[in-house]
Structure formats: C-alpha cells, structure tokens
C-alpha cells in the first residue's frame, strides 16, 4: 500500500520560488501583500500552493521583488489542481481505466454528481472552503465525468447505499435533479447503478467505500479514501479481497433494473 503524494499541480514549486524572492528582498508576507494589493493570507496561500495567484499577483510580485521576469516565466507554466493531494494520483489512473467500480455509503459518487449537488457537497466542508476553492473543485469534479462517455467506453459500475440517495444535500430540488441525473447516466450501455437496500442481514463491505480500477494493461488497483487521506492497495491478498467484497456486494444489491425503478419512484416523490 502507498499513498498518493505527488499530483499534476506545480503550484507548490511556484510558491517556493515566490518565497525565495520574497525572503531575498527582506519582505514579510504582509509587506509584500501591501505592495501588490493582496492580503497577508493570500500571499501565504500562494506560497503554500493552496491558491492560484490571480489578478496581477504574479506581475506585481515579480516587479516588487526584483525577480527580473523569473516569476512571470514560472507563472506561464503554472498548473493548479484543486484536488486534495492524495486524490490527484488516483484521478490519473481513473482517467485511463478500462473498468471502474465504486461503492459509496455517504454521498453520490463524484462521477455521478450534478453541478448543484457538487456545490452542496463542497459547501459542507469543514473547515469551510472559500468561493474560489468551491468553484475550482466543482469544475474539476465535473470534468472527471468525461470518462463515462469516453471512447473506447470503460466498464463502470456503482453500488450505492439507499441513504446516499435520500440525504437531501442542497435541498429537495437539488436532490431530485441529482436522482434524475443518476437515472440518465445509468442508461448508458457501459454504466450500471445498483442500490444497496438497508434491510439486509448480510453486507460484504461494512469497512466503507472503495474504488476499484482496471488499467489498460489489465492490472488491478484499489483505492480507499478516508477523512484526511487515501491509500492505494496494489498487493495481494488485500487487492483480491477488495474485488471479492465488491463482487459479493453487487450480488447483495438490487439489480440495475430494480434500482432504476426505485430511484425513479424516489425522484417522483420529491
């Protein structure tokens, strides 16, 4: 097992460069911010790679710090990811997977979320996210959904606990829109959605959500995400055990047809 530590963002490297020039100039974060029209916290977040520099930040800092174009040059190649660091590597595998299977017990999976539902999910974040962060995370999440209609089409399945489809994040209107969207995606030939009924006496995945992938090379990979990080499972027997649990889970859940009928009834009741 190992955790994803390096993603597609080079924002931290830019932040390190900014800090080097700021300290060389003998300026505090607050002093630099005052010179270029930004707050101390905004400068600090850029230096940590937690926020992309905006609105003349780069050109102002380059001039104020005497960087002679170095920050401007670095800024032209700046890529910023709104994904938590531990999920960036997962999404790289997800984007090229030939098969993807996901069990969720808290929220509708990101690959199935609508814009409004995703905003509601990120709006629940603790500590609260600022508006720019929420906007960036929503855009990133919705862009991931392109893989559902990719060609060649990946094989995709979801098993969702019933509470996932009844929790009214964003209110009933948002939930109804979300349920109808799940039904729409479930009609794709390469996608199956199943609901796990709450009254079963047996359940093969009580340890929590899981993401199972098959790579273009037909290698298997599992990813498990927790409150503050995620881990990849690549070694046996843990990997096979997760795939076995998911197979049992699909057998225990309602069929795709039964699930679609139930979700439609739930949507109509809202």
pLDDT for 2 equals 37
Number of separate domains in the chain: 2
Pairing state of beta strands 210-214 and 191-196? unpaired
Q: Which domain holds residue 116?
A: 85-268
Taking only the tens place, the pLDDT of each residue in 58-90 is: 999 999 999 999 999 888 877 766 766 667 778
Q: What value does the CA radius of gyration of the chain take, rounded to a whole number of Å?
A: 22
Q: How far apart are CA 25 and CA 56, in angstroms?
A: 19
Structure tokens at 110: 């990101």
The reply to whether 175 and 53 lie within a common domain is no
pTM over 0.85: no
The reply to whether 218 and 237 lie within a common domain is yes
Sign (positive/negative) of CA torsion 162, 165, 171, 173? negative
Q: Which segment of 47-51, 63-67, 118-122, 209-213 scores lowest on mean pLDDT?
A: 47-51
The reply to whether 121 and 72 lie within a common domain is no
The reply to whether 120 and 94 lie within a common domain is yes
Provide the β-strand partners of residue 161: 196
Nearest partner of 99 among 28, 151, 155, judged by Cα: 155
- Inside any domain, residue 1: no
The reply to whether 56 and 123 lie within a common domain is no
Give the CATH number for residue 49. Answer: 1.10.260.40
Query: Which three-class secondary structure state does DSSP give residue 235?
Result: coil
pLDDT for 5 equals 36
- Inside any domain, residue 171: yes
Taking only the tens place, the pLDDT of each residue in 127-165 is: 898 888 898 889 889 999 999 999 999 999 999 999 999
């Amino acid at each position: 097992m190992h955790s994803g530590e390096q993603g597609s963002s080079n924002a931290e490297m830019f932040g390190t460069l900014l800090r080097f020039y700021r300290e060389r100039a003998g300026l505090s974060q607050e002093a630099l911010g005052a010179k270029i029209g930004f707050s101390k916290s905004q400068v600090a977040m850029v230096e940590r790679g937690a926020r992309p520099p905006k609105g003349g930040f780069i050109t102002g800092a380059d001039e104020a710090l005497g960087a002679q174009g170095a920050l401007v040059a670095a800024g032209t190649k700046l890529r910023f990811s709104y994904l938590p660091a531990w999920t960036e590597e997962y999404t790289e595998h997800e984007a090229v997977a030939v098969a993807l299977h996901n069990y969720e017990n808290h929220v509708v999976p990101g690959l199935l979320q609508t814009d409004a539902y995703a905003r509601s999910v990120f709006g629940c974040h603790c500590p609260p996210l600022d508006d720019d962060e929420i906007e960036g995370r929503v855009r990133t999440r919705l862009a991931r959904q392109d893989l559902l209609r990719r060609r060649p089409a990946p094989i995709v399945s979801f098993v969702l606990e019933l509470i996932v489809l009844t929790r009214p994040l964003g209110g009933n209107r948002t939930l109804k829109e979300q349920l109808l969207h799940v039904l729409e995606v479930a009609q794709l030939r390469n996608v199956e959605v199943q609901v796990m009924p709450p009254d079963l006496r047996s359940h093969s995945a009580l340890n929590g959500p899981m993401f199972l992938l098959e790579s273009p090379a037909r290698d298997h990979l599992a990813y498990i995400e927790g409150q503050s990080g995620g881990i990849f499972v690549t070694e046996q027997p843990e990997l096979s055990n997760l795939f076995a649990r998911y197979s049992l889970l699909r057998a225990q859940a309602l069929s795709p047809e039964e699930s679609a009928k139930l979700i439609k009834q739930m949507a109509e009741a809202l």
